[in-house]
């Protein structure tokens, strides 16, 4: 059997204020998978704002520091994986011309690329019309490419309690849509007896929320293991409709999805279609939230959602992506 040659891979992505941590989350899962397979993998993270995020790599505005990227090439990094909504075609073209191979995470056919290999790690990928991408070498995506961190990939569903006791709210590290101050009062009104936990990755936001809602448990930026434990202890999770929905489905955790931006629309539509979430709630219209909270007080409904989520995706998608990058 031919031995696989070790490759040096750079991951370029972004996180922080007005971006969230979804790109970072899935890139960290890919990084971990590539390292487990024996490859060298380094993340360069364009981190916006002040966040106590620990990761293996460097904080760098890589779009505007191409000389630093050339130095990494001289160190033997031959492959590039880009997961970005901020960079433009000019940067993609430069990366393609500079490095041996470029792999692009694309959620919704954001721009027309000049080459490389596209990976859409979403359940809805096969519904996206990529016929305009005539210059790319290959396109991969769908439920067999969904990215999960190890703790979720190996996680199991928890028991569905008779009554809802714990609600978890997670709508992005900086809550750039200012949803938490709107959501918490609705939950408090509909489910007076419940403990509410809010995940807020920004220290300034944490302090603000704790002052505004003294009875709510305000959590900071969490590791994958900590996030998994918080989700498992929650009975219902109110989430944005990005990467977190995949992780919630993987452990069969009943959820309410709120769409924050255009890139989350197809993800929300897919999970609504299969019945894992019940309503297309938008960030600027939370009118359906009280009814959703009421519906999920039913143990039967929560068990049904759990079963749907557990069947929604292939948990080993990150391994498949690693093989695409290194083959």
pLDDT at 234: 97
Q: Are residues 136 and 237 in the same domain?
A: no
**How far apart are alpha carbons 76 and 222 in whole angstroms?**
33
Sheet containing strand 101-105, strands side by side: 57-59, 40-48, 8-16, 79-83, 101-105, 117-120, 138-141
> Could you tell me if 144 and 121 are in contact, meaning their C-beta atoms sit under 8 angstroms apart?
no
User: What is the crossing angle of helices 66-74 and 89-98, to 10°?
Assistant: 20
> Could you tell me if 61 and 44 are in contact, meaning their C-beta atoms sit under 8 angstroms apart?
no
For position 33, which CATH number holds? 3.40.50.11190
Q: Are residues 252 and 171 in the same domain?
A: yes
> Could you tell me if 218 and 239 are in contact, meaning their C-beta atoms sit under 8 angstroms apart?
no
Q: Are residues 67 and 104 in the same domain?
A: yes
pLDDT tier at 4, thresholds 50, 70, 90: low
pLDDT tier at 1, thresholds 50, 70, 90: very low
Q: Which of 201, 170, 165, 194 is nearest to 183 (CA)?
A: 170
Q: Are residues 123 and 165 in the same domain?
A: no
Sheet containing strand 166-170, strands side by side: 217-219, 195-199, 166-170, 236-240, 255-259, 281-282
The predicted-structure confidence for 183-212, as pLDDT tens digits, reads as follows: 999 999 999 999 999 999 778 899 999 999
**How far apart are alpha carbons 218 and 224 in whole angstroms?**
17
pLDDT score of 3 more than 80: no
Mean pLDDT, residues 168-176 taken together: 89
pLDDT at 52: 67
> Could you tell me if 157 and 251 are in contact, meaning their C-beta atoms sit under 8 angstroms apart?
yes
Report which secondary-structure segment, H or E, holds 207.
Answer: helix 203-212
Q: Are residues 305 and 322 in the same domain?
A: no
Phi, psi (degrees; rounded to nearest 5) at 14: -150, 160
Cα dist from 188 to 197, 257, 258, 287, whole Å: 12, 18, 18, 15
pLDDT score of 158 more than 90: yes
**How far apart are alpha carbons 178 and 197 in whole angstroms?**
16
The b-or-e profile of 39-65 (16+ CB within 10 A means b, else e) is bebbbbbbbbbebebeeebeebebbee
The predicted-structure confidence for 52-74, as pLDDT tens digits, reads as follows: 677 878 999 999 999 999 999 99
Q: Are residues 253 and 122 in the same domain?
A: no
In the numeric block, which tokens belong to residue 202?
């920004």
Has residue 2 been placed in a domain?
no
For position 222, which CATH number holds? 3.40.50.2000
Q: Mean pLDDT across the chain, nearest whole number?
A: 93
Q: Are residues 61 and 114 in the same domain?
A: yes
Q: Are residues 158 and 306 in the same domain?
A: yes
Phi, psi (degrees; rounded to nearest 5) at 218: -100, 120
pLDDT tier at 49, thresholds 50, 70, 90: confident
Q: Are residues 18 and 161 in the same domain?
A: no
Q: Are residues 126 and 162 in the same domain?
A: no
**How far apart are alpha carbons 45 and 25 in whole angstroms?**
11
In the numeric block, which tokens belong to residue 53?
């995020």
pLDDT more than 90, % of the chain: 83
Parent domain of 196? 152-310
Has residue 3 been placed in a domain?
no
DSSP of 51-63, one letter per residue?
Answer: -----SEEE--GG
Q: Are residues 118 and 196 in the same domain?
A: no
The predicted-structure confidence for 112-141, as pLDDT tens digits, reads as follows: 999 999 999 999 999 999 999 999 999 999
In the chain, the number of structural domains is: 2
Q: Are residues 14 and 144 in the same domain?
A: yes
């Amino acid at each position: 059997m031919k031995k696989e040659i070790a490759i040096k891979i750079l991951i370029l992505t972004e996180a922080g204020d007005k971006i969230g941590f979804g790109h970072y989350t899935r890139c960290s899962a890919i990084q971990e998978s590539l390292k487990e397979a024996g490859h060298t993998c380094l993340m360069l993270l364009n981190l916006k704002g002040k966040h106590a995020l620990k990761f293996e790599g460097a904080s760098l505005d890589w779009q505007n520091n191409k000389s630093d990227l050339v130095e990494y090439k001289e160190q033997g990094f031959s492959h590039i994986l880009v997961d970005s909504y901020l960079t433009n075609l000019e940067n993609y073209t430069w990366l393609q011309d500079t490095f041996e191979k470029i792999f692009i995470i694309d959620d919704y056919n954001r721009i027309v690329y000049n080459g490389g290999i596209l990976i859409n790690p979403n359940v809805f990928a096969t519904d996206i019309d990529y016929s305009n991408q005539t210059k790319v070498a290959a396109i991969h995506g769908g439920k067999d490419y969904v990215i999960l961190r190890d703790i979720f990939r190996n996680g199991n569903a928890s028991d569905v309690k008779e009554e809802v006791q714990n609600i978890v709210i997670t709508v992005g590290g900086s809550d750039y849509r200012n949803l938490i101050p709107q959501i918490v009062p609705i939950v408090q009104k509909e489910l007076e007896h419940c403990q509410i936990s809010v995940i807020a990755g920004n220290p300034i936001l944490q302090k603000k929320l704790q002052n505004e809602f003294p009875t709510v448990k305000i959590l900071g930026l969490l590791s994958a293991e900590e996030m998994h434990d918080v989700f498992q202890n929650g009975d219902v999770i109110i989430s944005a409709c990005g990467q977190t929905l995949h992780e919630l489905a993987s452990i069969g955790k009943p959820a309410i999805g709120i769409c924050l931006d255009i890139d989350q629309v197809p993800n929300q539509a897919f999970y609504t279609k299969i019945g894992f979430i019940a309503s297309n709630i938008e960030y600027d219209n939370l009118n359906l939230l009280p009814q959703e909270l009421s519906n999920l007080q039913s143990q039967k409904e929560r068990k049904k959602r759990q079963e749907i989520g557990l069947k929604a995706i292939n948990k080993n998608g990150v391994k498949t992506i690693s093989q695409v990058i290194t083959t």
